[in-house]
Amino acid sequence: MSKILRVNMNDLSHKWESVPSEHAHLAGRAFTTHYVNSEVDPMCHPLRAHNKVVISPGLLAGTLAPSSGRLSVGAKSPLTGGIKEANAGGLTATRLAKIGLRGIVIEGAPSGDDWYSILLGKDSCEILKTNDYAGIGLYDLIGKIWKKYDSKPGIIGCGIAGQRLLRGAGIFGNNIENSDPGRYAGRGGLGAVLGSKRIVTIISDDSEGSRPEPKQKEKFEQGRKALVEALNKHPVTGKLNNDEGKPFGGLKNYGTNILQNILNEAGGLPTLGFSSGRFKDAAKISGEAVHDLVDRTKKKFGDKSEGRYAHSCHPGCIMACSNAVPYEETGKLHVSPLEYESAWALGANLGVGKLYDVAELNRLCNDLGLDTIEAGNTIAMFMEGGIIPYGDGTAAIKLLKKAYDSKSVDGKLVCSGTKIAGETLGVTRIPVVKGQALPAYDPRPIRGIGVTYATTTMGADHTAGYTIAAEILGIKGEVTDPRKMEKADLSRAFQATTAYIDSSGYCLFIAFCILDDDSGFAGMKDTFDGFIGHEYDVTEYGLKVLKNEREFNRNAGFTKEDDRLPEFFHTEPLPPHNVTFDVSDEELDKVFEGM
């Protein structure tokens, strides 16, 4: 039976609650959104006691459903001022699900200067004073924790940036091997909210736990098998090599950074602070380049090489799009993972074309507890403002290292998010929506994602409206042909589908094979329905989540005027297509008209 843990940091107490029957279907994003909207004052200061951190494993986490171990974290965002959900892989979702936790609600804030950690096991919760965990890099921290606890626990928490309440901070998570704290629920500054509760880590031990059981085992199993088969045979999500030993699955071979070259060819790769759609050195920092580096170091160092592709971000992920980037000279781990959005934010976006520099910037972000997308865009503001030059990876690394110094103003600013840094440095081209920086797809040639950036409750976020869903719905839902849909209807539809997937625990990339395979789509739905023992309509479920989020933001003072892209996207044509973002305000407003 799943439970909810409520932690009160005012008096360092906790209590267990059963999941109300009417909320039995809530998990992942649906859970965090419900509790944030129901319990957090929309007008509260996001970094003070009245905000709450809500954590929930996706519905299917811990089960044998493939690639279903995502963890959602929600709160009022200090970056956007609105509701936020960010999710990630890692170990914690599986650990929490196996000890029967549907969610954790952390409220209040302690007085004093002490730092705490929450230690969770089956039916147990301890709030420990862990001052020795604060103020240190996260690579050291996760190593220290696994040395102390031999159960190989899941770890999430905030790094130096979050502990200092800086708004570029994400929630880190350890990876399966505990070699890197790089599994980030990165966006929205949620690391700073956890820091405001004086919590450094949440450590979860499932050694006494058990695998969650579906209510309709046969249906679940049928769906699971169908989805596994669909994922494995698809050329994007499928096996590493074909029967002839040649590269097959795109994600296993090249990771999400397969997109670096693709978006570059499409002319939609934001380069040099969103001033061009093509980057001359895209190939050097691409997924292909990482694949090649891994192969080279394997050849050179054999089994001692720590470079990997086809690396799973959480237990049970069969798509394995993560990677581990090695140092060329030693074959030892440099950073894991190097995702597309990170390689873009810290590479093409800054004009940095050296893979080593990009990996080093990513490692620093992981160590400091920073969201790579926000950090990359923030460094771009230093470049745009003339403090350091575009293309200078060494200067960018030096700048980011200042963040370790608690007295450095530059160090604080580089952790404070794109909007704050841009405005402080006199920049007028600041790529944010609702205070959150844009990710790796320029909205001028790719207008669909621009509509999502503008209208999502989350601030500019590509995952909020996973555009693949347009085709899923167009083919398999009630909508029969996306060509007949208004842009607004379509954007709303795929934002709703994304909210469903974010609640299920599935990684968004399962949607990729579902696009091409009816049985995969049925598999996703059957596992969800079979687990909960009830049929849910995908769009309807997702729309309820979106309505909750819209309600919170409305009560926090957001209006349709907040659903806009920055002016320069409307006025500066982006080469090579030389187009601007020309979707009208009226069309943007239609996306959530009446919601």
Partner 1 sequence: MTNSNTFEPLEVHLYGQLRQLIKHSKPDEDTVMMVDFIENETFREFVQRLGLSQSDIGDCFIDGTLAKHSTILMPGARIGLFPFNMVLLCGGQHLKGHGYTRDDVDIDYY
Which residues form the interface with partner 1 (CB under 8 A)? 235-236, 246-250, 253-254, 256, 258-259, 261-263, 265-268, 277, 283-284, 286, 288-289, 291-293, 355, 439-441, 445-449, 462-463, 466-468, 470-471, 474-475, 481-483, 485, 487, 490-491, 508-509, 512, 515-516, 576-577
Task: Give the DSSP H/E element, type plus range, for residue 173.
Answer: strand 172-173
> Tell me, what amino acid is at 227?
L
Q: Which lies closer to partner 1 via its Cβ, residue 2 or residue 275?
A: 275
C-beta neighbour count of 15 within 10 angstroms? 10
Q: Which lies closer to partner 1 via its Cβ, residue 201 or residue 276?
A: 276
Residue burial 331-347, b: 16+ Cβ < 10 Å; e: rest = bebbbbbbbbbbbbbbb
Find the shortest distance in angstroms from Cβ 53 to partner 1: 26
- Going by C-alpha positions, the residue among 343, 233, 241, 229 that lies closest to residue 286 is 343
**How are strands ordered across the β-sheet holding 101-107?**
13-18, 3-8, 101-107, 53-57, 71-76, 83-88
Q: Which lies closer to partner 1 via its Cβ, residue 367 or residue 442?
A: 442
Q: Which lies closer to partner 1 via its Cβ, residue 69 or residue 445?
A: 445
- Going by C-alpha positions, the residue among 426, 375, 419 that lies closest to residue 401 is 375
Q: Which lies closer to partner 1 via its Cβ, residue 288 or residue 551?
A: 288
Find the shortest distance in angstroms from Cβ 468 to partner 1: 4
Contact 14, 3 (CB under 8 A): no
Contact 154, 180 (CB under 8 A): no
Q: Which lies closer to partner 1 via its Cβ, residue 258 or residue 381?
A: 258
Q: Which lies closer to partner 1 via its Cβ, residue 55 or residue 546?
A: 546
Find the shortest distance in angstroms from Cβ 573 to partner 1: 13
Find the shortest distance in angstroms from Cβ 267 to partner 1: 3
Find the shortest distance in angstroms from Cβ 30 to partner 1: 20
Find the shortest distance in angstroms from Cβ 183 to partner 1: 18
Find the shortest distance in angstroms from Cβ 357 to partner 1: 14
Q: Is the dihedral of CA 174, 180, 181, 186 positive or negative?
A: negative
Find the shortest distance in angstroms from Cβ 293 to partner 1: 8
Contact 459, 80 (CB under 8 A): yes
* CB proximity list for 489: less than 8 A, separation 6 or greater: 479, 590
Residue 284: is it exposed, middle or buried by C-beta count within 10 angstroms (0-12/13-18/19+)?
Answer: middle
Find the shortest distance in angstroms from Cβ 250 to partner 1: 4
Q: How many whole angstroms separate alpha carbon 349 and alpha carbon 267?
A: 13
Q: Which lies closer to partner 1 via its Cβ, residue 119 or residue 258?
A: 258
DSSP state of 15: E
Find the shortest distance in angstroms from Cβ 491 to partner 1: 8
Q: Is the dihedral of CA 532, 534, 536, 542 positive or negative?
A: negative
Find the shortest distance in angstroms from Cβ 472 to partner 1: 10
Q: How many whole angstroms separate alpha carbon 231 and alpha carbon 513?
A: 6
Find the shortest distance in angstroms from Cβ 504 to partner 1: 16
Q: Which lies closer to partner 1 via its Cβ, residue 116 or residue 466?
A: 466
Find the shortest distance in angstroms from Cβ 3 to partner 1: 34
Q: Which lies closer to partner 1 via its Cβ, residue 367 or residue 461?
A: 461
Q: Which lies closer to partner 1 via its Cβ, residue 327 or residue 552?
A: 327
Q: Which two tokens stand for residue 500?
A: 């469903």
Q: How many whole angstroms separate alpha carbon 498 and alpha carbon 496?
A: 5
* CB proximity list for 469: less than 8 A, separation 6 or greater: 493, 494, 497, 498, 511
- Going by C-alpha positions, the residue among 370, 342, 371, 373 that lies closest to residue 358 is 342
Q: Which lies closer to partner 1 via its Cβ, residue 254 or residue 327?
A: 254
Q: How many whole angstroms separate alpha carbon 322 and alpha carbon 326?
A: 13
Please state, in angstroms and as integers, the Cα–Cα distance from residue 254 to each residue in 235, 258, 294, following that order. 12, 5, 11
Q: Which lies closer to partner 1 via its Cβ, residue 346 or residue 403?
A: 346
Q: How far is CA 206 from the centre of its chain?
A: 24
Residue burial 180-218, b: 16+ Cβ < 10 Å; e: rest = bbbbbbbbbbbbbbbbbbbbbbbbbbbeebeebebebee
Q: Which lies closer to partner 1 via its Cβ, residue 32 or residue 463?
A: 463
For residue 212, cis peptide bond before it (omega within 30 degrees of 0): no
Helix/strand/coil for 24? coil
Find the shortest distance in angstroms from Cβ 593 to partner 1: 18
